Structure 1
């Protein structure tokens, strides 16, 4: 037995607008958040409110998780009152968090043993993109899971890109992308420091490159944020960036892939965390570059 009921677990800066878009589309949605007060705000939008992860899902239904890390994902899936057994035969778990490929493999196997499906579907895009249903979604898993998830993912994003049957593959793609974004942030921070030290306006530099040879959202949006040092409120917290870089390095070590640039980015993030900047946007690593150049 299957049903279109959706349990949405994780109502942070990304999960909240995603859940609201599902509610706006007319779907039956029950939400769960570790802090219940956050979930209660969704009752006005027509959502059911659950006290436990299991309470958010129904047998044969769909669970969507958008959580901060592997531990949180495993807790709501496998912990006390977790969703795994409640979801049951015919259920589908769409994991949209940035987590380790090994965690996805583990959860996919447990869901298969329980008669349910598992799909890795992490996203690219900041909270404003989530609110506008403009996320880029990468997916991997069984064809049955993809077919059932397609209509839902179409509501949440502007495009779905498939990376095969291995549930870990989409997580590798997501980690690769986040590594590339952070590398671009470091590049822009260093370039802007070089310009500023030579009397060139940082904002003008960012605007020029964002309109010409680097005319893409990463350089346009992050370039402006770095130039303005608009690191609060955080669209993606620096401390979460460190979590992702740790995952990148773990995957690289397992695959025996040297990534010296990832090591540099790890050091930038570690220095930033030591300076109590974990709640800033991850573009805040620019402050370390500025300090190294005696600009702060």
Structure 2
């Protein structure tokens, strides 16, 4: 397929590289153009405008938040966005973690323009993106999602087609990130407890992940916590706060109380207030150790 890719950050660069490796024709756009250099060496075409990335069958956006996605989609004039540049019948795939409300807006806007919109956020850290081991959560017109199978297969190990309404994928993604953050917080509290009693954290983690909690989230984030490996960030703490806020907004709209979500929002605020904005979001779990008299999550 001819694919435009917008957003070459920690996740997008690996995804775009795997699309190239699978034989797709990739046109790459990034606000900082130097990030496209490695992809050009692999055969991608770098462009300097969003419009130039929208001439193919599909354009994929992988961006940090709602404002970034809104900017690249709804721009006009000299900074024409996806909506005004994508041909009729082509597809905008958003792999960004965005709000349910924005997914609704994008669905309606693309339909009015005669285009298709598919939400396809992913689960996995940058190393999984580089290894094509992501899990793709896709929602949109079933026929369009099916046609996109070669794209999703190139970047992930499994695709879950959730529903015909794109916003459902975004809600599922936010719920998953909420569960990960809950794991990080509870692991941090448990490690602070046993660590203060003199138990080796790495040994404790091995016990947990070899018995009751043999799951990737516990293995990955428990390891980062035990090693206090918060830099460089695979997923920054301020983005974790963003996702919890989006989760709470969705809960309010659906009238679903999320008391643990409210707690996590406050815990992320504490982390950011203490200088941890750009640390990996696993540093959330180190708050408990700090509050128990240990080291601060953020470096002095």
Q: CA deviation at 1:194?
A: 0.7
Q: Provide, for residues 205-247 of structure 1, a one-character-per-residue CA deviation record: whole Å limited to 9, x for no partner.
A: 1111111110011111111110111111111100110110110
Instruction: Tell me how far apart the structure 1 counterparts of residues 47 and 70 of structure 2 sit (CA, whole Å).
Output: 18
Matched, 1:31 2:28: yes
Q: 1:74 aligns with which of 70, 76, 101?
A: 70
Q: CA RMSD in A?
A: 1.0
Q: Is the 8 Å Cα contact of residues 189 and 288 (structure 2) preserved in structure 1?
A: yes
Normalising by structure 2, report the TM-score: 0.95
**1:161 deviation in Å?**
0.8
| 1:248 has 2:251 as partner | no
Alignment of 1:170-181 (within 5 A): 170-181=169-180
- What TM-score, normalized to structure 1? 0.96
For the residue of structure 1 that corresponds to 2:166, the secondary structure is: coil
Q: CA offset at residue 284 of structure 1?
A: 0.7
The count of residues paired between Structure 1 and Structure 2 equals 292
Aligned 8 A contact 2:174 2:243 in 1: yes
Cα offset, 1:199, TM superposition: 1.4
- Alpha carbons 1:88, 1:116 under 8 Å: kept: yes
Provide the C-alpha distance between the structure 2 equivalents of 1:276 and 1:193, rounded to a whole number of angstroms.
Answer: 20
Question: What's 2:14 paired with?
Answer: 17
> Which range moves more in the overlay, 178-187 or 210-219?
210-219
Gaps in structure 1 of 5+ consecutive residues:
none
Q: Offset at 1:35?
A: 0.7
Counterpart mapping for 1:132-211 below 5 A: 132-211=131-210
CA contact (8 A) 1:94 1:149 kept: no
Q: d(CA) in 1 for partners of 2:87 and 2:37? A: 26
Q: Name the CA distance, whole Å, in 1 between partners of 2:147 and 2:71.
A: 25
- Residue-by-residue CA offset, 1:225-272 (whole Å, 9 max, x unaligned): 101111111111001101101101111111111111111111111011
Unaligned 5+ segments in structure 2 are 296-300
Q: Which residue of 1 aligns with 2:234?
A: 235
State how far apart, in whole Å, the 2-side matches of 1:105 and 1:141 are.
11
Is the 8 Å Cα contact of residues 6 and 61 (structure 2) preserved in structure 1?
A: yes
- The answer (yes or no) to whether the contact 2:186–2:285 under 8 Å persists in 1 is no
Aligned mates of 2:234, 2:157 — CA distance in 1: 19
- Name 1:7's counterpart in structure 2: 4
> Does the CA-based 8 Å contact 2:63-2:96 persist in structure 1?
yes
Q: Structure 1 CA distance, aligned partners of 2:150 and 2:203?
A: 42
Distance 2:219 2:46 in 1: 39
